[in-house]
Amino acid sequence: GVISALMVVEITNVKQQEQKRCKYCIGTGYLACARCSSTGTLVLTEPVSAVDGGSQPLSLPKTERCSNCSGAGKVMCPTCLCTGMAMASEHDPR
């Protein structure tokens, strides 16, 4: 009786909240950084030259913190303005 009715209400609430979520970030407010593939670091590549028959060994690649996401691996969702909601309001306090 009562428990079943509460479960139905809760399921309905969950379905309504899913419809209100941003479809791009799925309600998280963040997207994976495309520049560093969500790793937070960039691999700096240097051209490999074949001078002297390639007798020098290759050096390890250097890395640096991604400047796009500041090393977090994720960026703010521009669609929902980091709210996670489908309709971002300019009056949202966040």
Residue 33: the pLDDT is: 96
pLDDT confidence bin for 11, thresholds 50/70/90: confident
Cβ-count burial 53-71 (b if 16+ within 10 Å, e if not): eeeeeeeeeeeeebeebee
Evaluate if pTM is beyond 0.85: no
Q: What is the mean pLDDT of the chain?
A: 83
What percent of the chain has pLDDT above 90? Answer: 39
pLDDT at 51: 59
C-beta neighbour count of 21 within 10 angstroms: 16
